[in-house]
Amino acid sequence: MLEQGTISIHTENIFPIIKKSLYSDHQIFLRELVSNAVDAIQKLTMVSRAGEYSGDTGEPEITIAIDKDKKTLSISDNGIGMTAEEVKKYINQVAFSSAEEFIHKYEGKADQPIIGHFGLGFYSSFMVAKQVEIDTLSYQEGATAVHWICDGSPAFTLDESSRTTRGTTITLTLMAEEEEFLEPARIKNLVKTFCDFMPVPIKLDGEVLNRQKAPWRESASNLTQEDYLEFYRYLYPFQEEPLLWVHLNTDYPFIVNGILYFPKMRPDVDVTKGQIKLFCNQVFVSDNCEEIIPQFLMPMRGVIDSTDIPLNVSRSYLQGDRTVKRIGDYIAKKVGDRLKELYRNDKEQYINAWKDLGTFVKFGVLNDEKFKKQVEDILIFRSTAELAAEKTETPAVEVQSSDSDVWQDVNSNSGNSLPYTTIKEYLERNKERHENKVFYCTDEASQATYIALHKNQGLEVLFMDSFIDTHFINFLEREYQDVKFTRVDSDLDNTLLDDKSSEIVDPTTNKTKSEIIKELFEKSLNKPKVNIRTESLKSEDSKATPPAMVLLPEILRRLRDMN
């Protein structure tokens, strides 16, 4: 060995880098200073609980003040303060944080996590300030108040201060090009964005700017349905009520808290873009965490709060990160659980939600094996079941001869009241008649005649008419190997037009199957809206179908155009 040693850093050279390049976004200085203030207040609670401070902690409070003449912006807290030694240790040494020490020493004394960690946040103030001052008085008995000034060069001065109240005031003298931060509206906006859920009131001109309460930190049992809805309205004002939500709350093997909502699909709901807000210890980090949730849950909205999601790293890194992947799996599992619960406890609401999220669930089933296992038994399909039962009252032929649209009649009192069924229930119900066949239609309009025909024979037809269903049928065929999935217009010869000797006579019309079909065809041909073009349909559909993944943008687009 030639030599062993410690690498040294040239402050003069590294300082500009820390100030200018650490964060791409100037405005986050406010987030950093306010979170230090929140930490200082939290730390005071901790030492007080540990019996190391017997004075009055007072009402926790952070005050922002603007002085347009002096071009200063200051952030004050009534937290723990700093002694001269602490200023030297934690401020004068870059990348030195007291957080870990504190957490270690006062374990179990915090009701809020300490936000700080890396010991770099404070220096973000130099992105906007030509001079930064700290005026602080520690909670410790006999502590002297100190005043620290630094103009952004590595040189500083530390003096005694005349301050008499416990806590810290950070005063920034803003650079000429950063004077926008002297506008109260700008500051209010920033506090709303970054500090809304920090657990201490943040005031400007006497007005409290932030909401403070972070519902996702509560345990689910403390929240009512209305609490969840209220929070949704707060995050996404003027939107329709969400269809369902999941409350994320886990400490192991990673920490994730949050509330995610599945919105009602509306044209103004942009489902192609992630809408989830990412937080770290209640501090807003980003609006955009598409990499974290599984792709099929993209429409979900709400909040994810985690200290385990690497921040300030590239998206491609995030996508490959194992913890991020596991958090995604966890979210998918929570959604699966919620769906199952809804299916068990409230079928009506489940069906209602299914209309909007069914496509996404199917997409998840096609792409995520674990999710598939979870929800495979609660995949539902619209069915003609009830209509088949009503046969005697509304014979198919009568339906066909009515003047209104064929498919609407076939669809009966279309919309909400239509029955939905799982494949299992379908097979069970039709065991005798169908001999392990599932009849389905892919287009209600053009296949109306065939639907009616099946219905008339007492055969139940499933509607596999959503955009993703072409792929889904392939999936079902693999899942139910012994079941034959038969499209209504593809199997006339075998199923309905079987040999003359077994010709069944429809009891309501007294006509044979072939007669009914012939009649239907003739009537249908006179209706411009009904096309009998089995062949062309078939060839269209048998085109090689692209993998479902490729189709997601298209699915999303169509869903958006829907309604």
Binding site for Mg ion (CB under 5 A): 36, 116, 121
In total, the chain counts a number of residues equal to 563
Q: How far is the CB of 116 from Mg ion (least distance, A)?
A: 4
Nearer to ligand ADP (CB atom), residue 79 or residue 263: 79
Q: Is the Cβ–Cβ distance between 233 and 245 less than 8 Å?
A: no
Instruction: Transcribe 394-424 into DSSP letters.
Output: S-HHHHHHSSS-HHHHHT-S-STTS-EE-HH
Any contact of residue 40 with ligand ADP (CB under 6 A)? yes
Among 28, 37, 200, 516, interactor with ligand ADP by CB under 6 A: 37
Site for ligand ADP in 106-125 (CB under 6 A): 116-122
Our separate counts of H helices and E strands in the chain read 20, 18
* Rounded CA separation 202/187 (Å): 11
Among 48, 63, 79, 548, interactor with ligand ADP by CB under 6 A: 79
Q: Which does 118 bind (CB under 5 to 8 A by kind): Mg ion, ligand ADP, none?
A: ligand ADP
Among 44, 73, 82, 559, interactor with ligand ADP by CB under 6 A: 82
Q: How far is the CB of 287 from ligand ADP (least distance, A)?
A: 23
Binding track over 153-192 against ligand ADP, x by CB under 6 A: ---------------x------------------------
Q: How far is the CB of 34 from ligand ADP (least distance, A)?
A: 9
Q: Is the Cβ–Cβ distance between 302 and 310 less than 8 Å?
A: no
Q: Which does 234 bind (CB under 5 to 8 A by kind): ligand ADP, Mg ion, none?
A: none
Nearest by Cα to 83 from 92, 95, 94: 92
What is the strand order of the sheet 244-250 is part of? Answer: 244-250, 256-262, 301-305, 275-280, 283-286
- For residue 279, give the 3-state DSSP assignment: strand
* Rounded CA separation 425/23 (Å): 57
- For residue 330, give the 3-state DSSP assignment: helix
Any contact of residue 196 with ligand ADP (CB under 6 A)? no
Q: How far is the CB of 27 from Mg ion (least distance, A)?
A: 16
Any contact of residue 53 with ligand ADP (CB under 6 A)? no
Q: Which does 77 bind (CB under 5 to 8 A by kind): Mg ion, ligand ADP, none?
A: ligand ADP
Q: How far is the CB of 82 from ligand ADP (least distance, A)?
A: 5
Q: Is the Cβ–Cβ distance between 174 and 129 less than 8 Å?
A: yes
Q: How far is the CB of 47 from ligand ADP (least distance, A)?
A: 12
- For residue 543, give the 3-state DSSP assignment: coil
Nearer to Mg ion (CB atom), residue 116 or residue 358: 116
Q: In the structure encoding, which two tokens stand for residue 275, read together?
A: 């809408």
Q: Which does 90 bind (CB under 5 to 8 A by kind): Mg ion, ligand ADP, none?
A: ligand ADP
- For residue 18, give the 3-state DSSP assignment: helix
